Chain A
Amino acid sequence: AQKVTQAQTEISVVEKEDVTLDCVYETRDTTYYLFWYKQPPSGELVFLIRRNSFDEQNEISGRYSWNFQKSTSSFNFTITASQVVDSAVYFCALSERTGGFKTIFGAGTRLFVKA
């Protein structure tokens, strides 16, 4: 069965600090996709990134970077030089071929960035 664990419930940092959000997943499938979504105070979930199980290359997009390691079943998300606008709840998600690619979410990590 697919499962996503985000052990960090809340993280608080000061602006300009770097912060890493952890995500550990479980799956028996060899074909799956991992995602990160952001949910700002407005409530709408915003897609940030997708990674497939065959591509372990790390990705950088501006101040965001993602580290995918199949050996530890982790897909961690780092925000460099955090800003107040980064304050949100961040969700890691998994969809696997066996489940018909239905998307299951972790519990989320609430990030507070203080000025």
Chain B
Amino acid sequence: DARVTQTPRHKVTEMGQEVTMRCQPILGHNTVFWYRQTMMQGLELLAYFRNRAPLDDSGMPKDRFSAEMPDATLATLKIQPSEPRDSAVYFCASGLGWGENTEAFFGQGTRLTVV
């Protein structure tokens, strides 16, 4: 049963600490999305990769957030330093990313709480 795997599922951290969230996309998928979900803003697209190259990270606060794909099986989203306003559920999604196969398959999310 192929699925997107995100770790950790929950993270509580103190303000100022570094947070790293990891995502393993579905094998063979070439597109990875990072979304943030909050009550106020809904689902916001933070970053978007195709074939490991960033296509769009305009939704991401550049001063503290960074997203990378070290290899095809791992995507990371890092926040340094974290702030209470970063508290949200962070979703990773993967897909085949072109034409008829553009739907995104989501992981279970990482619930981040910054205190």
Contacts and interface: CB of A to CB of B under 8 A. Distances in A.
A50 B55 CA distance: 22
Contacts of B43: 91, 105, 108
B102 A33 contact: yes
Contact of A47 (B48, B89, B105, B108): B105
A52 interface: yes
Contacts of A108: 42-43
Contact size class for B? 20 to 34
B102 A99 contact: no
Nearest to B44: A105
A50 B103 CA distance: 7
B89 A43 contact: yes
A87 interface: no
A102 B50 CA distance: 10
A99 B56 contact: yes
Given A102-B55, A103-B33, A108-B42, A44 B108 contact: yes
A95 to B, nearest CB: 5
A43 B102 contact: no
Contacts of B50: 100
Most buried by B among A46, A99, A102: A102
B102 A103 contact: yes
B41 to A, nearest CB: 9
B105 A101 contact: no
Interface in A55-106: 91, 95, 99-106
A102 B48 contact: yes
Interface of B: 31, 33, 35, 42-43, 45, 48, 50, 55-56, 89, 91, 93, 97-98, 100, 102-109
Given A52-B100, A95-B102, 15 more contacts: A37-B106, A43-B89, A45-B106, A46-B106, A50-B100, A91-B43, A100-B55, A101-B97, A102-B33, A102-B55, A103-B33, A103-B45, A103-B93, A104-B45, A108-B43
